[in-house]
Amino acid sequence: MAPKTSLSRRAMLGRTALGFGSLGLYSLLSEASLLAESPAGPLAARKPHFAARAKRIIFLFMHGGVSHVDTFDPKPRLDQDNGKPLPIKRSLTFNAKDAGGLMRSPWTFHPRGESGIPVSDLFPEIAGCADDLCVIRSMVGEGVDHGAAMLQLFTGTFSFSRPSMGAWTLYGLGTENQNLPGFITIKPTQWQGGDKLFATSFLPGAYQGTPIGSSPMKVDDIIESPIDHVLPSGSTTEEQRLELEFLRQMNRRHADVRRLDPDLEARIQAFELAFRMQAEAPEAFDVSRETEATRRLYGLDQESTRDFGWQCLLARRLSERGVRVVQATHSGAEEKWDHHSDIVRLHPIRAREVDRPIAGLIKDLKSRGLLDDTLVVWGGEFGRTPFSEGADGRDHNPYGFSIFMAGGGVKAGSIYGATDEFGYHAVEDRMHIHDLHATVLHLMGLDHERLTYRHGGRDFRLTDVAGTVATKILA
């Protein structure tokens, strides 16, 4: 059954009224005010389909595509056959004309932690969290260009306009803190999908993600006013209380002579809620309240890690306060990880920007007891080719790549799936993006086949007509 979303209070009231026709008008009215007093409306927290492993998601998105064969998926065959041509047929490639021979990884892999998960030297700090990770080495997508790959990762398809996975999650579960938006995306990109990556498409607008700045803005550009209009402007809090009281009385008089209209009631409640949001939001975004030690843990004390460190720390603060879905995008004026050339020089710069912040986030969530029911997902829109592009780059590779998850009911210290001996195609336990979505929803307590929305005569799902839950990774 799809969750009832009480979107149209009027419609719901209608059903109630028809269902209980014998009740007097008085009970109808109390029904109306009862509904109206559930202030959250479409965002009210809802029960999952079954017991959830995770209550909230933090998705750390690496824009541009991290090279999996240089980070989480070591391939001895590339060392052996460095420079030799790829002996199998090349699949559709973004920049086919510059495709070169196989290219070994310039970085060394070591088994890390007790689990022995191999992580390359690019991520020394994340490597320290190896025993908390569930590394998935068999991701598969179809988008060969950034836009298609990102749309598929965030919405399930690049061919149609569809709701984002954050919007679906919010639609399914509502949110736990009505004084903050339920779905927040920190520094999203403005191109290659843009707002579509956190939009609602045909789902109601209430499920849309709230952006905090956008790439390539820096922390300092954002910190003053993270959410639009959330701070009282031109009046003090006391003055605003007076304003709202005046407005409430005016709206009340108006509604009193227009009975039985729950929409008018809903709008009155929206103002009350807005007032409470104003009180809570600035505190939630105020990272300066953290201890020096915590700030260091996320790398806020260093220039190179300050930006993404702030994003990760903010992600924790928001998750802690019950925000259902948080996305943090690592991007800039260009795709941060898209190294078609010069990968040897550029991948380490990008890795350094995120390594400490991500490790800091995992450690911090863990020490606060939040990691158990917070699902952290890390990844890019695709991996990179095992063969070179030009002299010293790697091209896009959606056919097999790595992501990792941590916390939220996944098997810690484990590896799932495998690519072929080159790291080109996922061959074992392939996890298509639909499967990833099915699995993430499952961890959140939602059955991806039951989370549906009727639009244009059809029941739509995040996973379209596909998706299998990867039960092997469940703790």
Task: Please list every residue from 124 through 153 that binds another protein, using CB under 8 A.
Answer: 144-148, 150-151
Interacting residue with another protein among 348, 411, 412, 449 (CB under 8 A) = 348
Q: Which is nearer to another protein, 366 or 425 (CB)?
A: 425
The answer to whether residue 279 forms part of the interface with another protein (CB under 8 A) is no
Interacting residue with another protein among 64, 118, 181, 383 (CB under 8 A) = 181
Site for another protein in 377-406 (CB under 8 A): 390-391
Interacting residue with another protein among 54, 57, 133, 206 (CB under 8 A) = 206
Closest CA to 237 of 275, 277, 274: 275
The answer to whether residue 2 forms part of the interface with another protein (CB under 8 A) is no
Q: Which is nearer to another protein, 407 or 417 (CB)?
A: 417
The answer to whether residue 362 forms part of the interface with another protein (CB under 8 A) is no
Q: How far is the CB of 461 from another protein (least distance, A)?
A: 14
Which residue in the block uniquely carries the two structure tokens 């991290």? 66
The answer to whether residue 13 forms part of the interface with another protein (CB under 8 A) is yes
Per CB under 8 A, which region of 66-74, 285-293, 347-355, 411-419 contacts another protein? 347-355
The answer to whether residue 282 forms part of the interface with another protein (CB under 8 A) is no
Site for another protein in 234-253 (CB under 8 A): 234-235, 239-240, 242-244, 246-247, 249-251, 253
Q: Which is nearer to another protein, 50 or 191 (CB)?
A: 191
Site for another protein in 426-465 (CB under 8 A): 427, 454, 456-458
Interacting residue with another protein among 44, 219, 260, 418 (CB under 8 A) = 260
Contact (Cβ atoms closer than 8 angstroms) between residue 199 and residue 208: yes
Query: Which strand (E) or helix (H) includes residue 384?
Result: strand 383-389
Per CB under 8 A, which region of 46-54, 73-81, 324-332, 338-346 contacts another protein? 338-346
Rounded to whole angstroms, the Cα distance separating 462 from 115 reads 33
CA distances, 329 to each of 67, 258, 297, 324 (Å)? 17, 47, 19, 17
> Residues in contact with another protein, total (CB under 8 A)?
100
Site for another protein in 28-67 (CB under 8 A): 28, 41-43
Interacting residue with another protein among 35, 134, 184, 199 (CB under 8 A) = 199
The amino acid at 47: K
Interacting residue with another protein among 241, 254, 289, 368 (CB under 8 A) = 254
By DSSP bridging, strand 458-460 and strand 453-455 are: antiparallel
Closest CA to 122 of 305, 379, 351: 351
Interacting residue with another protein among 76, 80, 202, 367 (CB under 8 A) = 202
Rounded to whole angstroms, the Cα distance separating 277 from 95 reads 48
- Cβ neighbours of residue 265 closer than 8 Å, sequence gap 6 or more: 9, 32, 33, 35, 36, 255
The answer to whether residue 201 forms part of the interface with another protein (CB under 8 A) is yes
Element counts in the chain: helices (H) and strands (E): 13, 18
Residue 431 pairs with which residues in a beta bridge? 139
- In this structure, the chain runs to a length of 475
Site for another protein in 71-100 (CB under 8 A): 87-89, 91-94, 96
Which residue in the block uniquely carries the two structure tokens 């009340």? 252
User: Residues 328-349, buried b or exposed e (16+ Cβ, 10 A)?
Assistant: bbbbbeebbbbbbeebeebbbe
Q: Which is nearer to another protein, 128 or 147 (CB)?
A: 147
The answer to whether residue 294 forms part of the interface with another protein (CB under 8 A) is no
Q: How far is the CB of 356 from another protein (least distance, A)?
A: 12
Site for another protein in 406-425 (CB under 8 A): 425
Q: What is the DSSP string of 354-383?
A: HHHHHHHHHHHHHHTT-GGGEEEEEEES-E
Counting Cα atoms < 13 Å in the Cβ hemisphere of 62 gives 27
